[in-house]
Structures are given as structure tokens and as C-alpha cells.
Chain A
Amino acid sequence: DTGVSQNPRHKITKRGQNVTFRCDPISEHNRLYWYRQTLGQGPEFLTYFQNEAQLEKSRLLSDRFSAERPKGSFSTLEIQRTEQGDSAMYLCASSLFAGNNYGYTFGSGTRLTVV
């Protein structure tokens, strides 16, 4: 168990470019979450996968955002035509099963800066 891994750790991109982040959850965890954290705020829910199925998306997830989790393993979050307002820390978390009161395991996040 090597924890939740996120890559890259940092990404600087020009406005209008596309970016993709990757999250590798703990191998036996079937639930995977994406959150966004802006400066001075707590993380906000973006989307959730149970195995390979994307079961909920927040209203924060505009049409420019897409997430996948092929085969229920790693997940990718893509942002198309990035805007300066997309600058944030993108956190991935995983958990084993519903009702797990031990909480999630978080990754270290990908910090996106749009210039």
C-alpha cells in the first residue's frame, strides 16, 4: 500500500490550454473522489466514482471538465480551455466501501496555475 498518488504535483499552463491530471488510488479502494481547493478555502467536491462508474458530478464541474476511471483503477481529470479561475489544488481521495467511517485517504494533490 503506497497510498494515493497524484501526478503531476505542479502544473503551470497558459490560458486556453488543456491539462490532464492523474490519480492512482489505493489498489483495493473502490471509491474515488476529486476535490478542488482554492486558496483560503476548504476542499470542494467535484466528482465521485464507484469502480468505473461516475455516479455524481458537482455543479462546479463545468462542461470543460471531464473525469474518467477506466477499469475502476486510476482516474484522470481533464480540463479543456483552461481559465485563470481554474487555478487551484486538485485533490484525489479514495476509500474502500460505503459507510467506512475511517474516512478517505487523500493524495498530495496537483497544484494548477493558469497564467
Chain B
Amino acid sequence: AQTVTQSQPEMSVQEAETVTLSCTYDTSESDYYLFWYKQPPSRQMILVIRQEAYKQQNATENRFSVNFQKAAKSFSLKISDSQLGDAAMYFCAYRGTSGTYKYIFGTGTRLKVLA
């Protein structure tokens, strides 16, 4: 069975600084997708960035980028130039490429942005 681990329950970052959120996963599959989702307080989950396992190039979306290390089964999220609006819970998620396409989520990292 696949598992996703986020070992940082909470992180803090100064506004305009850079922060990295960690995620490791376990799977026996060779092809899969990885995602980072943002969940602001009392609001819906929003897709931040996605990575296809067969792509070696790390995904980037504006201030958000990932460091995908397939052999190490690591998938970290880097947020550059942090803004107050980045404060939220961040969930790492794994999804296979067959069957139900259900997600396996980590337990989340709460990001605080300090002004």
C-alpha cells in the first residue's frame, strides 16, 4: 500500500523569504502523480503544483517549485518570496495511474507567514 509522510507539522517563514516543505512517500509503482494542495482556513483545497513521476524535470508554477527525487521517494515544495496569503495547511498527495485514481494524502504541514 502507498503511504505519504509529512514530517513537519508546522513551519514558519518571514514574508518575502523562502521555505521548503518536506514530503516522502512509499510505493512499488513506477508511474504515478504527486501533488501539493493548499487548504486555507475554512476554505476549499486548491491545487498548487503537480508532478508526473516519469518526468525528470521538476515542476514549477510561479513562486512554487518542487524538488522531486524519485529514487529517494522525496517530493518537497519550495515557496519563494513568501506572501501572507500563502499561510495555510499544505498537503502532499500521491495518486496512481490506474483504478480509482484516489489520492493518498499526508497529514499536512501548517505554514505560518510572519510579517
Considering only CB atoms and an 8 Å cut-off, how many residues of chain B contact the other chain?
27
B residues sitting closer than 8 Å to A (CB atoms) are 4, 6, 33, 35, 37, 42-47, 50, 52, 91, 93, 95, 97, 99-108
| Cα-based distance from A104 to B42 in the complex (angstroms) | 18
**Tally of contact residues, A, Cβ under 8 A:** 27
- Select B102's contact among A4, A33, A101, beta carbons within 8 Å: A33
Given contacts A42-B107, A103-B47, A106-B37, 19 further A-B contacts (CB under 8 A): A33-B102, A40-B108, A41-B108, A42-B4, A43-B91, A45-B102, A48-B100, A56-B100, A91-B45, A98-B101, A99-B101, A101-B52, A103-B33, A103-B37, A103-B50, A106-B45, A107-B44, A108-B42, A108-B43
Identify whether the interface residues of A are mostly helix, strand, loop, or mixed.
loop
Docked Cα-Cα span, A63 to B11, in Å, equals 39
* Whole-angstrom distance between the Cβ of A7 and the nearest chain B Cβ: 14
Q: Residues of A at under 8 Å CB distance from B?
A: 3-4, 31, 33, 35, 40-45, 48, 55-56, 91, 95, 98-104, 106-109
